[in-house]
Amino acid sequence: MIQLPLNRDNVIQAVFLERPNRFLVRCITDERGVLDAYLPNPGRLWELLLPGASLYLYPTMDPEGAFPSQRKTRFTVMAVQREESPIFLHTHITNQVARTLIEKGEIPSLEHARVVRGEVTRGRSRFDLLLEQDGKDLYLEVKSCTLFGNGVAMFPDAVTQRGRRHLLELAEMANAGIRSAVLFIVHSPKVTWFMPDFHTDYDFSTAFLKARDRIMILPIAIQWTPDLTLGPEVKSLEVPWDYLRAEMRDRGSYLLILKIDRTMALEIGRLGTHTFSKGYYVYVGSAMRNLRTRVKRHLQRRKKLHWHIDYLTAHTGEMIPLPIRSSRRDECEIAKALLSIMQMGPSGFGSSDCPCQTHLFFSDTNPLHIRAFHDVLKGFRMTHP
């Protein structure tokens, strides 16, 4: 198991190529060429693991310093470079960071807590740390947060049934008089606010909002130096509860990423026949009520053809929905932003009831591999409270 502090002489740089599965990345180094490395992080990490991103790798060793015989990868991904700072990705070491900060008394509201033991089981779940504070037990779950922008950090970046279950069980424990808390460690100091990512995981966010009066919600921000040393500052973040109550509804806009595997001519209702090139398309829509139901309908293969997008989804391969929940109808502003970074689709597509030229946009590259696309998404998802 890797311990802190890391031996900086063992850290090597690599360039990200692809992610074959959740826990494996393919990268290239100057000395070793192309190699696979273990990624101890189940998150999507879309905005971080972009082609060409710089990775920090560390040798995979057992407690005796030998390579584990059961492991196929000789290196583990520790962090990824974002702008001038590394963003730590190793979720298991984040738990070690939490323990270290608690033992030093550097986490607000846990200054006088003592770590009793780690990986403690209670009920149906296992929690990261059992603490003792003021003579009473306190169960602590630690979450690693790497999604941030515009001064806002959000968790999770992918749907987490496990995370939602932890919140619900900690809340049940609190009802029985057992103290509990969730510590969110944001791996960047450039944030002021923390929120659940209600765009990505609405159920987790709902549980988060309901649990606020029963368990301690402790979001903090830390910083990593280029040699993967933990910086001295620990910043407490604010949760904008009033903003969440107002904005966290099942309504707003959405993006739908579509992949077309071959160039084809399709009839799009009254728009007539149009040629769609092989590549990726992004459709912008909105639903100011029942957003999840609208998105679910788009993902169905068999349905009555009603909207322009229905004619296209019937012939696409992979489809990825990206909700943008808001009290505002932002679809036209989103379309305007996408027009500045992508090619325009057929005129009038999805925009017959608004002044926009189109609500469909094309790219020969997967938009999820383009930083400018993530900047647009961040601009509408991560708004200041």
pLDDT tens-place values along the chain, 385 residues long? 345 556 777 889 999 999 999 999 999 999 899 999 999 999 999 999 999 999 999 987 654 555 555 678 889 999 999 988 899 999 989 999 999 999 999 999 999 999 999 999 887 788 999 999 999 999 999 999 999 999 999 999 999 999 999 999 999 999 999 999 999 999 999 999 999 999 999 999 999 999 999 999 999 999 998 888 888 889 999 999 999 999 999 999 999 999 999 999 999 999 999 999 999 999 999 999 999 999 999 999 888 999 999 999 989 988 999 999 999 999 999 999 999 999 999 999 999 889 999 999 999 999 999 999 999 999 999 997 7
CA distance 235 to 186: 10
Per 3-state DSSP, what percentage of the chain is helix, strand, and coil (rounded to 5)?
25, 35, 40
The vertex-365 CA angle with 57 and 367, nearest 5°, equals 75
The vertex-186 CA angle with 93 and 183, nearest 5°, equals 75
Q: Which segments of 214-311 are extended strands (E)?
A: 216-221, 235-236, 252-260, 264-267, 273-276, 279-287
Task: Give me the pLDDT at residue 318, please.
Answer: 84
Task: Give me the pLDDT at residue 102, please.
Answer: 96
Task: Give me the pLDDT at residue 342, please.
Answer: 97
What residue ranges of the chain are covered by domains with CATH 2.40.50.580?
8-83
Residues belonging to the chain = 385
Task: Give me the pLDDT at residue 231, please.
Answer: 87
Task: Give me the pLDDT at residue 4, please.
Answer: 58
CA distance 271 to 274: 8
Task: Give me the pLDDT at residue 232, please.
Answer: 86
Q: Are 345 and 360 in contact (CB under 8 A)?
A: yes
Identity of residue 219: P
Task: Give me the pLDDT at residue 384, please.
Answer: 77
Q: Please say whether the structural domain 8-83 has been given the CATH code 3.90.105.10.
A: no
CATH T-level assignment (fold) for domain 91-247? Trna Endonuclease; Chain: A, domain 1 (3.40.1350)
Report pLDDT digits (tens) over 83-121: 888 999 999 899 999 999 999 999 999 999 999 999 998
Task: Give me the pLDDT at residue 1, please.
Answer: 39
Task: Give me the pLDDT at residue 2, please.
Answer: 46
Predicted TM-score (pTM) of this structure: 0.93
Task: Give me the pLDDT at residue 227, please.
Answer: 85
3-state DSSP call for residue 338? helix
Task: Give me the pLDDT at residue 69, please.
Answer: 55
Cα 37 to Cα 14, 21, 58, 218, distances in angstroms: 10, 11, 9, 32
Least Cα distance to 147 among 160, 157, 137 occurs for 157
Two structure tokens written together for 364: 């020969």
Report pLDDT digits (tens) over 39-93: 999 999 999 999 999 999 998 765 455 555 567 888 999 999 998 889 999 998 9
CA distance 307 to 349: 9
Task: Give me the pLDDT at residue 62, please.
Answer: 53
CA distance 354 to 286: 12
CA distance 197 to 203: 10
**For the chain, what is the mean pLDDT?**
92
Identity of residue 258: L
Cα 124 to Cα 120, 156, 165, 181, 216, distances in angstroms: 11, 21, 9, 17, 20
What residue ranges of the chain are covered by domains with CATH 3.40.1350.60?
91-247
